[in-house]
Amino acid sequence: MRPERVERTAERGSLAQPVLAGVVTALVGFSSSFVLVLAGLRSVGASGAQAVSGLLLLSVGMGALAIWLGLRHRQPVSIAWSTPGAALLVASGVPAGGYRYAVGAFLVCGLLLTLTGLWSRLRELVTAIPAPLATALLAGVILPLCLAPVQAAVKLPALALPVIGVWAVLTRYARRWATPGAVATAVVVVLVHPVRQGGPALGLLPTVTVTAPGFSLAALVGIALPLYVITMASQNIPGIAVLRHFGYEPPVRAALTGAGLVSTAGALGGGFAVNLAAISAALAAGPDAGPDPKRRWVASVTAGGLYVVLGLSAGLAAALLTSAPPLLVEAAAGLALLPTLGSALASALGAPEHREAAVLTFAVTASGISAFGIGAPFWALLAGLLAYRLLPAATPAASTTPRVRG
């Protein structure tokens, strides 16, 4: 065999592993949380068509950005939608005035994300938020969804138990595919036992639905600000850390600015937030994407291309979910978030000197209260910051050893 042919064969072989890793990244990333994206948009008042539009724009936007960053910087910079942000939308509910005020909040969040990429001082302010408070806020936001599988097992046993069973088995033997398998099982269950939820039928080909934004203080403080904080604290900052862990120096300014611009551009169509991937970033940046770190960018570019293709299935995905009870949809999303809840609680409570402030942040968020039209996440962050500053820091010994009086 000629040396040129041997070299081409070796190159194809070296690209096969990052390409496969990119396919796995996209399939796992999309299937494990698209249910949550649709549920979040519907929770803030989006119609079926508007929710499909949001899923389409998020998929295409993050895919295009991943392709551009990978080709431009030759690094496996994975992009995703804000999964914690989608959970926040589920917890927020419909803002006063309806969905268009949520769209206004998406637009402001996108502008803040863009400004963060352009202005280093804002990045410093965000990273100054104590990590225990940020992770406690995240844990409180996703807790109600993580309770949904338990509730569904009791209220909808015939529908929910097969989903939970498949998730449990795959978690034991093929953890990466546990959530996609649970979602696939939920789809099968819905096809076998359809429960029509009403509303107009959705077309299988997704289209962009533009909504004129509305702006109110309650929506900006209750949705835009927490969405921005959670996206930065639980997605962008960990995503940067993952890349550095695998030996890369990521293009932070370009990635954050690009994610902010994509979020801003898609906001009017329901694209609430695009960011650096955190949960799935290791699939494209780690050894699973090949032994040569200089070729792993192929994985993130492959994932980006597949995200664009998967976005075209948004209409089909939404059509299937309209035949499912809302509690079953929330249960599937909750199973996907259980590992995130565990890591968030561990991080929030891991620093004993400020554990009380973290617990207060978690409790206020999980309470779901609303005051003056502003939801619990804002009040939780405010209460947590006050407690962090005002309460005396506990020593590790005082926080773990009971005091004996005699």
The predicted-structure confidence for 242-260, as pLDDT tens digits, reads as follows 898 889 999 999 999 999 9
At 274 the three-state DSSP class reads strand
Q: What is the pLDDT of residues 75-115, one digit of tens each?
A: 999 999 999 999 999 988 899 999 999 999 999 999 999 99
Q: Is residue 359 a contact partner of residue 391, using CB atoms and an 8 Å limit?
A: no
Residue 362 domain-assigned? no
Angstrom distance (rounded) from CA 388 to CA 243: 30
Return the higher-pLDDT residue of 199 and 222. Answer: 222
Mean pLDDT of the residues in the chain: 86
In eight-state DSSP terms, residue 210 is -
Alpha-carbon distance values, 62 to 223, 336, 343 (Å): 21, 20, 25
Q: Is residue 300 a contact partner of residue 251, using CB atoms and an 8 Å limit?
A: no
Residues contacting 313, CB < 8 A, separation 6+: none
Please report where in the chains the tokens 């696939």 appear, as a residue.
Answer: 184
Examine the pLDDT at 394 and tell me if it is beyond 80: no
Mean pLDDT of 126-138: 84
- pLDDT, residue 381, reads 87
Q: What is the pLDDT of residues 225-244, one digit of tens each?
A: 999 999 998 889 888 988 98
* pLDDT band of 386, cuts 50, 70, 90: very high
Structure tokens, 161: 């138990």
Sign, CA dihedral 129-84-80-171, equals positive
Angstrom distance (rounded) from CA 139 to CA 385: 16
* pLDDT band of 120, cuts 50, 70, 90: confident
Return the higher-pLDDT residue of 160 and 5. Answer: 160
Return the higher-pLDDT residue of 14 and 400. Answer: 14
SS (H, E, C) 351-389: CHHHHHHHHHHHHHHHHCCEECCEEHHHHHHHHHHHHHH
In degrees and rounded to multiples of 5, residue 128 shows phi and psi of -75, -15
Residue 71 domain-assigned? yes
Residue 328 domain-assigned? yes
* pLDDT band of 378, cuts 50, 70, 90: confident
Give the bridge partners for 274, in sequence order: 81
Give the bridge partners for 276, in sequence order: 79
Examine the pLDDT at 286 and tell me if it is beyond 70: yes
Angle at alpha carbon of residue 129, lines to 126 and 134, rounded to 5°: 105
Residue 180 domain-assigned? yes
Residue 352 domain-assigned? no
Angstrom distance (rounded) from CA 293 to CA 382: 42
Q: What is the pLDDT of residues 313-354, one digit of tens each?
A: 888 877 777 777 888 888 888 888 888 888 889 988 887 888
Residue 11 domain-assigned? no
Residue 205 domain-assigned? yes
Closest of 265, 269, 297 to residue 284, by C-alpha: 297
Residues in the chain: 406
Please report where in the chains the tokens 């930065």 appear, as a residue.
Answer: 232
* pLDDT band of 299, cuts 50, 70, 90: very high
- pLDDT, residue 196, reads 55
Angstrom distance (rounded) from CA 184 to CA 205: 20
Give the chain's domain count: 1
Q: Where in 50-124 does DSSP place strands (E)? A: 79-81
Angstrom distance (rounded) from CA 276 to CA 308: 16
Sign, CA dihedral 213-214-219-221, equals positive
- pLDDT, residue 216, reads 94
Count H helices and E strands in the chain, helices first. 20, 4
- Other C-beta atoms closer than 10 Å to the C-beta of 41 total 29
* pLDDT band of 131, cuts 50, 70, 90: confident
Q: Is residue 116 a contact partner of residue 232, using CB atoms and an 8 Å limit?
A: yes
Domain that holds residue 210: 19-338
Residue 190 domain-assigned? yes
Angstrom distance (rounded) from CA 276 to CA 126: 16
